[in-house]
Structure 1
Amino acid sequence: MPTVTNMNIQLDPDLAQWTRDYVTLKPIQHSSEDLQALLKPLGLLETTSSSADDILASIGIAMICNYAETDGGPGPVAISPTTSPETAKQLLETYQQPSYQQLRQSMGVTHHWIVLLGPDLLHDSNEMLEETCDWRVNNDPHPECSIISLVYD
Structure 2
Amino acid sequence: MPAGLLDELRARVGEVAEQVAPRATLKTERTVVVLRDAAGAGLVELADDRVYATDLSDGVHRAWREWEAELLPGAAETVLDAVDPLLRAAGAYPSASPAKIARATGKLIALAQARGADPEQLAALTELDAADQAAARRLGS
TM-score of the superposed pair, with normalisation by structure 1: 0.26
The structure having more radius of gyration, on CA atoms, is 2
Instruction: Return the structure number with greater strand share.
Output: 2
TM-score (structure 2 length as normaliser):
0.28
